[in-house]
Every structure is written in structure tokens, then in C-alpha cells.
């Protein structure tokens, strides 16, 4: 059976890798892409989502979401992903009329409430849209199978010593999602850091297929890591975890979101020994296994 999923995203170079796999994998049924302010502003993340659906000639709908975090000021990652958010590959101009709606939260509600089967949410950007969905329409919770999100860390952060980007951008939204009571999996920085894709392996992308060439060009402009050594394709782990959960090391843990600390705002405070877990935390995967499932998944792409 195909997994029905919604990807909530802020493309984003590693988002592009996750979306490429998801749109083409035979075991996944992407119901829609919803966009959020994150790596770059909402107009750019939405245009980037459309560039990807257009690249794959996909009819998956794209819905524009929140342009601003719930309370935080906007914090951009254009220094990492480039001015466009997906620098490095010349996509054709997008046809803006192909955007399906300007209200991602309402679109998710309509889809979920009318769905005959529960749907899995895959947020790979700040959690603003998901928090708005759960607070505006709490009745959709029974229609959500689980949430598998990229964000947070059981250890150190990547924006501040303790906060990871997606959580740091909108800690109040993350607090709502982590306290929603829904089955939740945190695919944080830990798992990608355990299995960095080294440069020599990235070179293989160039001869894989058109998608491999497109991703290779994006990755070579990705400033989050040192391309000459290798990179962490954080968002792709959510999709790979959904496809192969048995290959990952996990811990049931209590994750609370720090919203007030002057130095720690946005931290995912992870108690690996709590008697009251609210979350599955994905801690690692063998590098060789990650490489294999990543490249295998990309072979379904054009």
C-alpha cells in the first residue's frame, strides 16, 4: 500500500532532495505540497516548490502557507541555500497560475477531513502551518496518521549552540506540535550527522540521471556544510525513515521546546530516559545503509 503524505516545506536545497524522492517513489502518494516561510521568504519557497513539481511534470498541488512565524521575527537561511533558496540549478521560470491556493492550512483541512484514510504529515520546514492547522481545526487530528518532522536535535543545534533551524524559526509553533498528543517522530540533526554523505559519493549523482545532476548542482551551492568534504541532506531522512523505519536507530523520548531561554530559545530539550515520552527520536543510521537507500530512492526519478 502507498503511504499517503503531505509535505510541508520551505525549499531549500535539502527540501529539494526530499521532494524529488517523494514525488517519484512508487510506495508514496504525495497528496499535496504546502509551503512555509523558512529558508527564504514565502514567495520564494512557493516558487521553488512549483519549480520542482514542474521539473517532474507532476500534478501534485502546491499551496502557499504562512509568510511569518507565529511570534518570532523572520530568520532567513539564504546564506546557506542562496538568495533564491535553491541556488545552483537553472530551473525554467515557473507558471504562477499553477499554484493551487493561497491558504495551505485550509487546503490541508479540506484534504484531511474528506480523506477516507489517515494521512501522514511530513513537515521539513518551520512548524508554523502545522501549528495553525492543529489549533484552527483540532478535529483533523483523528485524520492524521502520524507526523514525521525534520527539526531539532537531541544534542547540539545548528543556529545556536542548542537550537536547530526549523525549531529556532518558530519555537511557539513547535511547542504546539510537540504537545499535540499526535504520534510524532523527530528526525533531527543527530541522524544526518551520523551519516554525512561524503564528497566522493556525491559525485556519483552526476551520472545517475537528470535528477541526480540537478541535485548535484544544488548541493554544490549548499553552504550549510563543506561540500569538499560532504554534506548533510537533512530533510531527505524524513522520507527515507518513512520508507525504511527498521534501518534507523530510534529512542522513545520526552522532547520539550524551550521558548523563553535567552540563550536556549528553540532548543529541543530531549530526555532520553523519561517515563513520559511524547516522541520517537531518530538517532542514527549506518552511513553505508543511508547511501544505499538514498541512491536507490533516486533511481525512481527521471
Closest CA to 240 of 185, 194, 290: 290
* CB nearer Ca ion, residue 12 or residue 171: 12
Within residues 122-181, the interface with Ca ion by CB under 5 A covers 124-125
Using the contact rule CB under 6 A, the part of the chain among 11-19, 82-90, 112-120, 280-288 near ligand BDR is 11-19
With H, G, I as helix, E, B as strand and everything else as coil, classify residue 218: helix
Round to whole Å and give the CA distance between 236 and 122.
Answer: 11
- Under rule CB under 6 A, residue 14 binds ligand BDR: yes
Closest distance of CB 115 from ligand BDR, Å: 26
Residue 158, contacted partner among Ca ion, ligand BDR, none, CB below 5-8 A by kind: ligand BDR
Residues recorded for the chain: 302
Euclidean distance between CA atoms 94 and 82, whole angstroms: 18
C-alpha cell at 255: 522532547
φ, ψ dihedrals at 87, nearest 5°: -70, 150
Residue closer to ligand BDR, measured from CB, 147 or 150? 150
Per CB under 6 A, 148 contacts ligand BDR: no
With contact defined as beta carbons under 8 Å apart, do 76 and 40 qualify?
yes
Closest Cα partner for 204 from 81, 291, 87, 88?
291
Neighbouring-strand partners of residue 233? none
At closest approach, how far in Å is the CB of 152 from ligand BDR?
9
CB of 272 vs Ca ion, minimal distance in Å: 25
* Least separation in angstroms between CB 232 and ligand BDR: 8
Q: Is 52 in the site for ligand BDR (CB under 6 A)?
A: no
Stretch that binds ligand BDR, among 51-59, 158-166, 175-183, 279-287 (CB under 6 A): 158-166
CA distance 76 to 166: 11
**Shortest reach from residue 10's CB to ligand BDR, in Å:** 6
**Dist. CA 135–CA 165, nearest whole Å:** 23
When the beta carbons of 12 and 230 are compared against ligand BDR, the nearer one is: 12
Query: Which of Ca ion, ligand BDR, none does 164 bind, CB closer than 5 to 8 A by kind?
Result: ligand BDR
**Beta carbon of residue 235, minimum distance to Ca ion (angstroms, whole number):** 5
- Yes or no: say if 296 and 20 are a contact pair by the CB < 8 Å rule: no
Check residue 35 for interaction with ligand BDR (CB under 6 A). no
Alpha helices in 56-127 (DSSP H): 78-81, 104-113
- What residues from 237 to 296 belong to the interface with ligand BDR (CB under 6 A)? none
69 lies in the binding site for Ca ion (CB under 5 A): no
Closest CA to 193 of 214, 224, 239: 224
Name the residue nearer to ligand BDR (CB basis): 123 or 212.
123
φ, ψ of residue 105 in degrees (nearest 5): -65, -45
Q: Which three cell numbers stand for residue 91?
A: 530551473
* Sites of contact with ligand BDR (CB under 6 A): 12, 14-15, 39, 77, 80, 124-125, 150, 158, 164-166, 234-235
Residues lying near Ca ion in the complex (CB under 5 A)? 10, 12, 15, 124-125, 235
Amino acid at each position: 500500500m502507498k503511504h499517503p503524505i503531505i509535505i510541508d516545506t520551505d525549499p531549500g536545497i535539502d527540501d529539494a532532495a526530499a521532494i524529488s524522492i517523494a514525488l517519484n517513489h512508487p510506495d508514496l502518494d504525495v497528496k499535496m505540497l504546502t509551503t512555509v516561510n523558512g529558508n527564504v521568504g514565502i514567495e520564494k519557497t512557493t516558487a521553488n516548490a512549483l519549480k520542482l513539481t514542474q521539473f517532474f511534470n507532476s500534478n501534485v498541488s502546491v499551496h502557499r502557507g504562512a509568510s511569518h512565524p507565529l511570534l518570532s521575527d523572520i530568520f532567513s537561511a539564504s546564506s546557506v541555500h542562496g538568495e533564491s533558496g535553491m541556488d545552483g540549478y537553472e530551473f525554467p521560470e515557473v507558471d504562477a497560475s499553477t499554484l493551487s491556493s493561497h491558504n495551505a492550512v485550509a487546503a490541508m483541512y479540506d484534504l484531511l477531513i474528506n480523506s477516507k484514510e489517515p494521512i501522514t504529515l511530513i513537515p521539513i520546514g518551520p512548524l508554523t502551518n502545522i501549528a495553525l492547522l492543529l489549533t484552527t481545526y483540532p478535529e483533523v487530528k483523528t485524520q492524521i496518521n502520524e507526523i514525521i518532522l525534520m527539526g531539532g536535535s537531541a544534542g547540539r543545534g545548528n543556529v545556536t549552540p542548542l537550537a536547530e533551524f526549523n525549531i529556532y524559526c518558530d519555537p511557539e509553533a513547535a511547542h504546539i506540535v510537540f504537545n499535540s498528543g499526535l504520534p510524532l517522530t523527530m528526525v533531527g540533526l543527530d541522524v544526518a550527522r551520523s551519516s554525512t554523505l561524503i564528497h566522493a559519493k556525491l559525485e556519483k549523482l552526476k551520472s545517475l540521471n537528470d535528477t541526480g545532476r540537478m541535485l548535484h548542482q544544488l548541493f554544490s551551492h549548499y553552504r550549510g556544510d563543506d561540500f569538499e568534504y560532504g554534506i548533510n541532506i537533512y530533510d531527505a531522512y524524513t522520507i527515507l525513515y518513512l520508507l525504511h523505519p527498521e534501518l534507523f536507530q530510534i529512542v522513545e523520548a520526552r522532547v520539550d521546546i524551550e521558548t523563553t531561554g535567552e540563550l536556549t530559545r528553540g532548543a529541543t530539550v530531549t530526555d532520553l530516559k523519561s517515563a513520559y515520552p511524547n516522541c520517537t527520536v531518530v538517532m542514527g543510521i549506518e552511513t553505508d545503509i543511508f547511501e544505499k537507500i538514498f541512491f536507490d530512492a533516486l533511481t525512481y526519478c527521471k
